[in-house]
Amino acid sequence: MSPELNDLIQWAREAGSLLRQRFGGDHSIRFKGSTDIVTEADHQSEALLMERILSRFPDHTIITEESGHHNGSDEHCWYIDPIDGTINFAHGFAFFCVSIAYAEAGHLRLGVVYDPIHDELFAAESGKGAWLNGVPIQPGSAASLRECLLVSGLPHHDHSPYTDAAFACFRDLTLRSQGVRRLGSAALDLCYTACGRLDGYWEFSVQHYDIAASALIAREAGCIVTKLDGDEDILKPPVSILAGNPKVYALLRDALRQHGL
Ligand code: IPD
Ligand code: CA
Ligand code: CA
């Protein structure tokens, strides 16, 4: 048995409602790394989503941020980020979401990203399109970097192999476009690119659970989405991401190539 888009929508709304109730309150924060944090709400959201999935699909594989890899059938795989944008959430900064993707035989089939504070639900089904709150979405029509508002993500520490290149690209593209935002949620960065609020997105190092749902949403909306080197197999680690309408995608690829990519 396979899930339907409405299953993901319902579960994302349930997890989002839990996050909305906890947003702005005090949190128990644990450091996973020097700046990498997890709150009690990440665990609660993840537990809810795991329970919903496993109660219907006990033999499916689930890959989650907080509790890792739950082995099941290779045919059916879920990618869950219970809060994408945990640092924003913990600071009371309203830019975070729940991200749920389902892949069948290695192909992304369903994706839902829910921003509970703005009550915005992005969804996509492979071959059928992408929607924001039920309305079809498409990327913007920018055809030059000067027309673009871009977004990226940056490492928080300087022992990443990508730190220098990521900051160099951020600087370069800031000077060549209308600006590059650093908003702190890879999933929403991609969804905002999918619906034309932003024109292009790249990030040197993300995880598959960060971008699985939103990559399907952006592709179904009409963006090209690959790793930075052009590889279309975005779920295969190490994961990086580059997205935009076809013209902006090509312009960003050229710009990133000038930095040795
Ligand atoms: C992070 C956010 C951030 C991105 C990081 C991710 P988290 O996810 O998506 O924008 O730059 O690479 O790890 O930790 O908030 O789930
Ligand atoms: Ca994430
Ligand atoms: Ca997360």
Ligand 1 binding pocket includes 153 (Cβ within 6 Å): yes
Whether 124 and 217 have beta carbons less than 8 Å apart is answered as yes
125 pLDDT band (50/70/90 cuts)? very high
**Region 114-125 average pLDDT:** 98
Q: Residue 239 CA: which ligand is closest?
A: 1
- Which ligand is closest to the CA of 42, given by its number? 3
Domain range summary for the chain, segments of one domain joined by +: 5-136, 145-257
Q: Which among 206, 214, 228 is the best mutation to test ligand 1's pocket, defined by most ligand atoms within 8 Å of the CB? A: 206
85 lines ligand 1 (CB under 6 A): yes
For residues 201 and 184, is the Cβ–Cβ distance under 8 A?
no
**Angstrom distance (rounded) from CA 160 to CA 130:** 34
Nearest CA to ligand 1 atom 16: 84
What CATH number was assigned to the domain covering residues 145-257?
3.40.190.80
Note the pLDDT of residue 28: 80
What ligand 1 atom has the least distance to the C-alpha of 84? Answer: 16
124-136 burial, b at 16+ Cβ within 10 Å, e below that, comes to bbbeeebbbeeee
Nearest in space to 81 (alpha carbons), one of 180, 203, 182, 188: 188
pLDDT at 35 over 80: no
Answer yes or no: is the C-beta of 39 below 6 A from any ligand 1 atom: no
* Pairing verdict, β 239-244 and 200-206: antiparallel
Best of 27, 39, 84, 240 for a ligand 1 pocket test (most atoms within 8 Å of beta carbon): 84
Q: Are the C-beta atoms of residues 27 and 19 closer than 8 Å to each other?
A: no
Supply the mean pLDDT for the chain.
95
Is the pTM here over 0.85, yes or no? yes
Q: Residue 260's pLDDT band (boundaries 50, 70, 90)?
A: confident
Q: What is the pLDDT of residues 187-245, one digit of tens each?
A: 999 999 999 999 999 999 999 999 999 999 999 999 999 999 999 999 999 999 999 99
Q: What is the pLDDT of residues 134-153, one digit of tens each?
A: 999 999 999 999 999 999 99
CATH homologous superfamily of 5-136 equals: Fructose-1,6-Bisphosphatase, subunit A, domain 1 (3.30.540.10)
